[in-house]
C-alpha cells in the first residue's frame, strides 16, 4: 500500500531581486521594494512530500533519515544565508519563492522520493512545485468581511429555513472570509517569477477584495441578487471575476479556495480538468508527520 508523507522544515534567509543587466531604475521598476539593497529576509517554512510503500514497520521512510537529508541538502546550507550567493542556481535565476521551491526539489530528488515541495515565504504567500519542468504554483491569501443571507427569493421564509436553517434568517449574518488564490505558470529563467506578484495581488484586490469587503452580498453585489451566496457560489463568482485579470498578468488561474469559517470552505478550479478526481480505494493515503 502506498502512502504520501510530509516533512516540515524551516530556515531563515535573506535575498534581493536584482538583475545586473538592468539599471537601478529598471530594477526598481521591475521589482519594487524587493530591489532595495542590501536585501530583505524571511522565515521560510518548507514542506517536503514523499511517496512510497508502507514497510513492515508501518513507515514509508525513516523520518530521522529524512530529517537529516533535508538538513544536509537544504536547510543547513540556506539557514542564515544571503540566498543570491548561497547556491549557484540563484546566480542564474533569482531566488523567488517559486524558483526556490523548484531548486529545492532538484536538490532533494536524488535522495528522496519526493512528489511535492511547498515553500512558505510567509503565511500569506507560498509556492508549490511538483517536478514539471519550469511550471510552478503560487498562492496568495487575503481576506474580506461580508454579510449574506441564504434564501431563494421565490420561496417563503419557512421554506428557505427548511433548506438553509438559521442562514435563512431575514437580516442575514456575516463572516470574515479567508481567500486563497492559486495561479500557475512557467518560471521565467532569468527573473524566477511565473508572474508579476504585485500585478496578481492588485488584480485580486481590485476585482474581489475591494468590491466585496464590508458589503451585504445579496444587496451590494449584483450577481447575488438572484444567485444564493453560498460559499460555493461565492467561490465560483470569484473565479469568474479573476480568470481574465489573472491571464493578463501572464499566469493562469489554477484554484480559488474560500474559507467561510474554520468549519466550512469551498474550492473551485480555473480549468475543470485541474480538479482532483474522486479518490478510489486504491489511491494513496496521506499522513502528516
Please say whether the beta carbons of 129 and 116 come within 8 A: yes
Beta-strand runs (E) in the chain: 2-15, 40-53, 81-82, 114-122, 125-129, 135-148, 173-186, 215-216, 252-261, 264-269, 285-288
Annotation says 214 is catalytic? yes
Residue 209 Cα to chain centre, angstroms? 17
Number of domains in the chain: 2
Query: Residue 262 is placed in which grid cell?
Result: 474554520
Determine which one of 98, 121, 180, 260 is catalytic: 260
Determine which one of 122, 173, 214, 244 is catalytic: 214
Task: Look at residue 269 in the predicted model and tell me its pLDDT.
Answer: 97
Determine which one of 3, 135, 167, 205 is catalytic: 167
Task: Look at residue 201 in the predicted model and tell me its pLDDT.
Answer: 97
Cα–Cα distance list, 278 to 269, 275, 282, 283 (Å): 15, 9, 11, 9
Task: Look at residue 283 in the predicted model and tell me its pLDDT.
Answer: 53
CATH number assigned to the domain comprising residue 179: 3.30.479.10
For Cα atoms 24, 26, 31, give the angle at the middle one, nearest 5 degrees.
95
Annotation says 122 is catalytic? no
For residues 85 and 166, state if they share a domain.
Answer: no
Confirm whether 227 is domain-assigned. yes
Is the Cα torsion angle 218, 224, 228, 233 positive or negative in sign?
A: negative
pLDDT tens for the chain, 289 residues: list them. Answer: 899 999 999 999 999 999 999 999 999 999 999 999 999 999 999 999 999 999 988 998 999 999 999 999 999 999 999 999 999 999 999 999 999 999 999 999 999 999 999 999 999 999 999 999 999 999 999 999 999 999 999 999 999 999 999 999 999 999 999 999 999 999 999 999 999 999 999 999 999 999 999 999 999 999 999 899 999 999 999 999 999 999 999 999 999 999 999 999 999 999 877 888 765 444 555 554 4
Q: Beta partners for 7?
A: 48
CA distance 132 to 112: 17
Confirm whether 284 is domain-assigned. no
Task: Look at residue 287 in the predicted model and tell me its pLDDT.
Answer: 56
Q: Of 80, 97, 131, at which residue does a domain stop?
A: 131
Q: Of 103, 131, 159, at which residue does a domain stop?
A: 131
CA distance 92 to 210: 38
Confirm whether 283 is domain-assigned. no
Annotation says 254 is catalytic? no
For residues 56 and 173, state if they share a domain.
Answer: no
Query: Residue 206 is placed in which grid cell?
Result: 481590485
Task: Look at residue 280 in the predicted model and tell me its pLDDT.
Answer: 45
Task: Write down the pTM of the prediction.
Answer: 0.92
pLDDT digits (tens, 9 = 90+) for 202-221: 999 999 999 999 999 999 99
- Count CB neighbours of 135 within 10 A: 16
Please give the residue range of the domain that contains residue 160.
133-271
Long-range contacts of 265-274 (CB under 8 A, 24+ apart): 265/231, 266/230, 266/231, 266/232, 266/234, 266/235, 267/235, 268/232, 268/235, 268/236, 268/239, 269/239, 270/239, 270/243, 270/246
For residues 125 and 164, state if they share a domain.
Answer: no
Amino acid at each position: 500500500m502506498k502512502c504520501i508523507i510530509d516533512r516540515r522544515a524551516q530556515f531563515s534567509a535573506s535575498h534581493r531581486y536584482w538583475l545586473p543587466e538592468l539599471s537601478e531604475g529598471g530594477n526598481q521598476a521591475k521589482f519594487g521594494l524587493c530591489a532595495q539593497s542590501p536585501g530583505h529576509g524571511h522565515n521560510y517554512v518548507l514542506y517536503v512530500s514523499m511517496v512510497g510503500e508502507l514497510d513492515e514497520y508501518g513507515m514509508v521512510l525513516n523520518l530521522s533519515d529524512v530529517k537529516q537529508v533535508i538538513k544536509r541538502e537544504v536547510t543547513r546550507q540556506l539557514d542564515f544565508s544571503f540566498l543570491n550567493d548561497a547556491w549557484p542556481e540563484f546566480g542564474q535565476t533569482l531566488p523567488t519563492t517559486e524558483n526556490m521551491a523548484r531548486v529545492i526539489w532538484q536538490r532533494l530528488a536524488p535522495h528522496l522520493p519526493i512528489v511535492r515541495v511547498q515553500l512558505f515565504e510567509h503565511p500569506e504567500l507560498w509556492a508549490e512545485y511538483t517536478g514539471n519542468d519550469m511550471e510552478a504554483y503560487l498562492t496568495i491569501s487575503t481576506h474580506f468581511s461580508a454579510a449574506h443571507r441564504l434564501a431563494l427569493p421565490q420561496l417563503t421564509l419557512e421554506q428557505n429555513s427548511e433548506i438553509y436553517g438559521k442562514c435563512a434568517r431575514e437580516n442575514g449574518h456575516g463572516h470574515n472570509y479567508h481567500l486563497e488564490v492559486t495561479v500557475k505558470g512557467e518560471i521565467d529563467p532569468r527573473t524566477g517569477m511565473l508572474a508579476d506578484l504585485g500585478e496578481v495581488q492588485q488584480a485580486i484586490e481590485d476585482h474581489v477584495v475591494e468590491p466585496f469587503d464590508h458589503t451585504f452580498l445579496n444587496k451590494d453585489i449584483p450577481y447575488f441578487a438572484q444567485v444564493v451566496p453560498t460559499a460555493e457560489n461565492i467561490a465560483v463568482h470569484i473565479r469568474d471575476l479573476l480568470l481574465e485579470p489573472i491571464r493578463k498578468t501572464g499566469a493562469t488561474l489554477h484554484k480559488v479556495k474560500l474559507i467561510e469559517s474554520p468549519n466550512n470552505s469551498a474550492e473551485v478550479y480555473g480549468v475543470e480538468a485541474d480538479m482532483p478526481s474522486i479518490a478510489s480505494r486504491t489511491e494513496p493515503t496521506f499522513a502528516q508527520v
